[in-house]
């Protein structure tokens, strides 16, 4: 993309365009630019999508940190509850996954007491084709369909088989954040 | 009534560019259509300018529109040709109605010349039986008064503008229909637009489709009637924008698709890289690194190859030989080549 510009504008634009030698030093800023563009595009797509039960928005001063919310799906033990999450995007996003944590306490087999989430697509199964929207949808569906075999919260995993008791526990522990 | 209108529409065009007949038959008709329209329009305008006098003939004689039009366009020279050609051949009818559709819009234009010719048209077609005076008052008269000066100054500009507008109208006549309120407008005009969309078809088929729609609502260009009446001076500047918006509906739609639903593996080529959201250039769009059909820009592909080297969509390992299409021996390379050619075809 740079080559086209250089051929058209020989001398005057040369200082502006990064030469091959400068690309090493400017690589980081270029990356940041592309990450910004990607995040802005995701934000736009998320706001236009109108998905119910999920939302996310960047924090005031940092587009690399988002706050998201998901609501428990209907006909699950989490119905009627809402959870806040924080998403922190690395500089090499989307080639690396964002760090996603529950801000609201969530009694769930795959969420530990600190809000860390055990979800494959946020770790080794990450793909750069995922985005905030698909992450939030995945977490939303994870609520209703936990992976019992590798629990972070063993108490929740043990209780999952008794949905009525689990529902009571969810209601008891649910503390909606302000 | 409909069949009459078709005949009338086709005639003026045929008369205006008879020499194009031979060309057209020989060459690809679709390719020539644009040029044909242009020629027809210019000739129409020229002949109108010359034949201001003949306009009187038209108006005075309440006879069949065909004859009137012949007189205006070709000064009666081409009577025999007209009688023979346009009627019989369905294909040519289609083609020429297409052509006519483009100077439908000039007809609406406030120019005095056009209005005169149109009056001929309308008196014969829309206002069957009605005298020329009635037609002029209803359709063309008011414009000719207001805009006659501008016509003299910039005919060419108007022409160009009208070409663009005509294209836009043809592309969006359906939308326009919705906007139209109740005006008594010529159904045959509407038809001609439709014909342009589905060129080469027998007019009868089109008319059958048309009539249910076209009757109650106002077809094609009554819109323009309304829009221009209040302030005619702005018409030339504002209308070309319409054409810019509407001449490439496919592109805009594709762009939308590419931007939003980039995850899908359909054959649609996104216009921006789903990974970095930068626009895909031609090299990128002809680059299909994975059989699953997931497209991304070369830059992001390279970055992925430096890491795990898996396709973001299907997680399959990228085949390194597909990069840049340098090696075409393996299956992967061949696939890439095929995909490349396909994509180029779909683009053009």
Residues above pLDDT 90, as percent of chain B: 4
Contact status of A3 with chain B (Cβ, < 8 Å): no
Separation between Cα atoms, residue B312 and residue B317, nearest integer Å:
10
Cβ contacts of residue A136 below 8 Å, gap of 6+? Answer: A51, A54, A55, A56, A68, A70, A85
Residue among B260, B276, B312 whose CB faces A38 most closely: B276
Whole-number pLDDT of residue B223: 42
B314 touches chain A (CB under 8 A): no
- For chain A, which ranges sit under pLDDT 70? 1-30, 178
Put simply, whether B63 touches A (Cβ < 8 Å) is: no
Inter-residue long-range contacts of B34-42, CB under 8 Å, 24+ positions, other chains counted: B36/B95, B36/B99, B37/B98, B37/B99, B37/B102, B37/B103, B37/B163, B37/B166, B38/B163, B40/B13, B40/B16, B40/B99, B40/B100, B40/B102, B40/B103, B41/B102, B41/B103, B41/B106, B41/B159, B41/B162, B41/B163, B42/B159
Q: What is the pTM of this model?
A: 0.44
Given this model, what pLDDT does residue B34 score? 61
| Residue A65 annotated as catalytic | no
Catalytic choice (A65, A106, A118, A161): A118
pLDDT over 70 at B247, yes or no:
no
Residue B311 dihedral angles phi and psi, to the nearest 5°: -65, 130
Mutation test of the interface with chain A: which of B259, B275, B311, choosing the one with the most A Cβ atoms within 10 A? Answer: B275
Mean model confidence pLDDT for chain B:
52
Choices 3.40.50.1580, 3.40.50.2020, 3.10.110.10, 3.40.190.150: CATH for A32-173: 3.10.110.10
The average pLDDT across B214-235 equals 47
């Amino acid at each position: 993309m740079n080559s086209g510009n250089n051929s058209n504008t020989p001398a005057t634009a040369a200082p502006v365009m990064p030469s091959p030698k400068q690309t090493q030093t400017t690589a980081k800023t270029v990356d940041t630019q592309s990450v910004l563009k990607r995040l802005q595009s995701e934000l736009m797509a998320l706001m236009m999508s109108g998905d119910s039960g999920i939302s996310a928005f960047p924090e005031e001063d940092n587009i690399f940190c988002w706050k998201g919310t998901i609501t428990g799906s209907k006909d699950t033990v989490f119905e009627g509850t809402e959870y806040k999450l924080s998403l922190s995007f690395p500089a090499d996003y989307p080639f690396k996954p964002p760090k996603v944590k529950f801000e609201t306490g969530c009694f769930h087999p795959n969420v530990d007491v600190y809000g860390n989430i055990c979800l494959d697509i946020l770790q080794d199964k990450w793909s750069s084709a995922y985005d905030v929207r698909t992450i939030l949808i995945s977490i939303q569906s994870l609520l209703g369909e936990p992976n019992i075999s590798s629990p972070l919260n063993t108490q929740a995993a043990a209780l999952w088989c008794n949905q009525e008791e689990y529902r009571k526990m969810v209601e008891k522990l649910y503390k909606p954040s302000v | 009534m409909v069949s009459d209108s078709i005949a009338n529409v086709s005639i003026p065009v045929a008369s205006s560019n008879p020499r194009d007949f031979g060309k057209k038959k020989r060459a690809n008709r679709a390719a020539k259509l644009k040029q044909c329209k242009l020629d027809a329009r210019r000739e129409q305008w020229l002949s109108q300018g010359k034949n201001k006098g003949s306009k009187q003939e038209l108006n005075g004689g309440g006879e069949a529109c065909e004859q009137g039009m012949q007189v205006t366009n070709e000064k009666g020279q081409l009577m025999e040709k007209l009688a023979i050609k346009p009627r019989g051949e369905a294909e040519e009818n289609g083609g020429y109605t297409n052509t006519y559709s483009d100077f439908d819009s000039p007809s609406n234009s406030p120019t005095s010349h056009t209005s005169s010719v149109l009056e001929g048209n309308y008196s014969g077609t829309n206002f069957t039986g009605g005298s020329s005076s009635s037609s002029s008052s209803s359709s063309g008269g008011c414009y000719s008064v207001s805009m006659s000066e501008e016509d003299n100054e910039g005919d060419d500009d108007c022409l160009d503008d009208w070409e663009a507008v005509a294209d836009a109208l043809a592309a969006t006549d359906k939308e326009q229909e919705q906007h139209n309120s109740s005006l008594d407008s010529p159904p045959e005009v509407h038809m001609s637009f439709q014909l342009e969309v589905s060129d080469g078809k027998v007019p009868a088929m089109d008319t059958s489709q048309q009539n249910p729609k076209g009757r109650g609502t106002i077809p094609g260009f009554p819109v323009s009637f309304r829009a221009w009446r209040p302030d005619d001076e702005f018409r030339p500047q504002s209308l070309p924008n319409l054409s810019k918006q509407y001449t490439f509906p496919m592109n805009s739609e594709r762009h939308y698709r590419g931007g939003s639903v980039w995850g899908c593996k359909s054959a649609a080529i996104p216009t921006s890289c789903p990974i970095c959201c930068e626009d895909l250039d031609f090299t990128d769009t002809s680059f299909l690194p994975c059989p699953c059909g997931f497209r991304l820009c070369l830059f992001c592909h390279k970055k992925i190859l430096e890491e795990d080297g898996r396709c973001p969509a299907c997680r399959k390992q990228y085949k390194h030989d597909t990069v840049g299409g340098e090696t075409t021996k393996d299956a992967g390379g061949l696939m890439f080549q095929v995909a490349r050619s396909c994509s180029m075809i779909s683009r053009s």
